[in-house]
Amino acid sequence: MTPFLPSDCLREIFEQMQGISGSQKEERESLLSCLLVNRLWCETTIEILWRNPWRLGNFYTDESYWISLSRTIFLCFSEEQKDVIKKDCINYKSSITKQQPLFNYISYIQYLSNEHIVKIVETLTNENNFSAILWNYNANIIENELWKLFMSKCSCVKYLELPSTSILHFLGADQCLTSLHEFICSTYSPSKLFLDLAQVCRNIKKMVINPCGDDNEGLEALISLQNNLQQVKLCSIEGDSCEKIGKALETQSKSLISITFEFCICVPVTTLCNLTELKSLKILVKDIDTDLEDLICAELPKLEILEIINSAYQPLDLYTSLIQTTHGFLRKIHFGTAPHPSEGELKPYINSIINFCPNIEDIILWYIEEIYDDLEQLLSSCRNIKYLGLEALSTFSNLEESWWDDNDDDDDYDDNQENVDIDYNLACDGASIFDLFIKKFPCNLVQLTLSGSWRFSALELETFLKSWKGRNPLYLSLFCDFDMGDEYSNILNDFQSNGTLKGWCNIDNI
C-alpha cells in the first residue's frame, strides 16, 4: 500500500497550486477538490483556503461564495456573540445558528481588510429589511463583533488594513498582530490607533499610506519603531509635504529598499537622497507639476528599478546624473516627460546607460534618427535587454504638437491635417530599426514596443518578421501614429500562428 504523503509535503504541493490554475474560480475549484480525498488532505487544504479566503471569490459578482463564507464565519462566533447579533441585527433560522463549524477556520486567517469586513456585514444583513438608520446601527454592532472574533481567534495576522476604530483593546490583539508584515493605512486615522499598534507591531515590512495627506505623530512613531521596514508606497492627491513622515522614513534608511509615490511626492525630495539602500524608486506623478531637481544630489548606488512618470518637464540631465550614481545594478529604467527631450540631452543619456547599466533588462527610450549609432552601441553593450520600448520623435511629432497647441480655429483643421499627412514622410524610418535588430539581435529580447512617429510598410514589417523567425518568440506592440489596416494585422496574425510572435497588439486591439 502506498504510504500517505506527510502533511508538510502536501502543504507545499497545495501552496504551489495557487496561481497556477489561472482564474480565482479555477483555483478555488482545484483546492476544493482536494477536500474530498481524506481527512489529512482536507485539514491541509482548509488551512490554505482560509489563509486568505477573501481572494477566492469575486468581490462584486460571486454572491453565492460570499453568502457561504459569511455564514461559515457567523458559525464561528461564540454563543454570547451570536446572541448579541441575533437580538437586533439578523434573523437566521435556529437550525443554521446552532450548527458547529468542523474546523477552527478563523485561526487560519492571515489577511484582514476593512473592505472585506464590511462586505461580510453587508452579506449577513442582506436578508433583513432595515431602515437606513437601523441598518447602520446594526452594521456597527456586527463589525465590532467581527473584529473581536478575528483578534481573539486569528493565530497570526500578516496583512492588515487599518479600520477606523481601535482594535488593540480586543482580547488577543496583542498576540495575533505581533507578526504583522504588511500594513495599509491613512494619515487621517487617529494618531492613537498608530500609537497602540506601535506597542506590538515592530516587524512590518511593507507599508501603504493612502492617502498620505498630512503629518501624523502616531504614524511617525509606528514607522520609526520598525525593525526591518523594506517597502513603502505613498499616495497623495493634494501633494502637501509631510516632513515628519519623511524624517521617520529616514530612520529606516538601512532597511528600506523600495519606495513608490503615486499622484504627488508627499515628502521632501531630500528624503530620497538619504535612502541610500534603495533598490526600487518609482515616482508615478503624471500630470502633476512636481519639481525633482533636488534629486540631482542623490546617490543611489544599489538602485535596480528606476521609474519616473511625470508629464511636467524635468531636464533629462537630472535622470542622466541619477543613473551615473548607480553601480551597475539597474535592471529597469522607465521615464516619461513632456515636452520631449532634445538630441543634445538624448546622447548623454544613452551613453550613461551604456557605461553604467550593463545589466539593464527593461528600458523605454526616446528615439530620433540622429541617435541611431548610439542605439546600435547600446544594443551591442547591453546584452541582457528583455523588454525594449522606443518612442519615435521627429519633425512630424513636433509639428503635430504645435498644431494641437496653436489650433484655436476649427476652420484651419483641414489645412493643418493636410500638412500632417504630408509630413508623414518625416517620421522615423522603422525599416532601419528592424534591420538593426536583426543585425545586433538582442538574444534575450522577448518584447518590443514601437510608439510615436514611425513609418514602415507592411512589406518591411513582413521582411523583419521573416528574418526573426527561429529566434525567441517576440511580443510586438505597435502604437504608431499612422493607421495600420488589415494588411498589417493579417501579417501579424500569420507570424503569431507560426510561432515567430508570442503575441501582438496595436492601438486598435488593446
The per-residue pLDDT for range 403-423, each reduced to its tens digit, is 334 444 455 444 444 444 445
pTM of the model: 0.82
Residue 122 CA, chain-centre distance (Å), reads: 28
CA-only gyration radius of the chain, Å:
28
Going by C-beta distance under 8 Å and a sequence separation of 6 or more, which residues neighbour residue 225? 198, 202
Cis peptide bond N-terminal to 339, omega within 30:
yes
The whole-number average pLDDT for the span 324-348 is: 86
Lowest pLDDT segment from 241-245, 247-251, 310-314, 379-383: 310-314
Encode pLDDT of 82-128 as tens digits: 887 876 666 555 445 567 888 899 999 999 998 899 899 888 876 55
Distance CA 242, CA 211 (A): 12
DSSP 2: P
* Residue 290 one-letter amino acid: T
| Exposed e or buried b per residue across 99-128, where buried means at least 16 C-beta atoms within 10 angstroms of its C-beta | eeeeeebbebbbbbbbebbebbbebbbeee
**Which position has the grid cell 526573426?**
468
Considering the chain, what is the average pLDDT of its residues? 83
Q: Is 156 helix (H, G, I), strand (E, B) or coil?
A: coil
Q: Which helix (H) or strand (E) holds 67?
A: helix 63-75
Encode pLDDT of 352-396 as tens digits: 999 999 999 999 999 999 999 999 999 999 999 999 999 998 654
DSSP alpha helices (H): ranges in 274-387?
316-324, 343-356, 372-381
Residue 282: pLDDT band with limits 50, 70, 90: very high
Distance CA 428, CA 219 (A): 51
Encode pLDDT of 23-81 as tens digits: 556 666 666 666 656 767 777 778 888 999 988 777 667 788 888 899 899 999 988 88
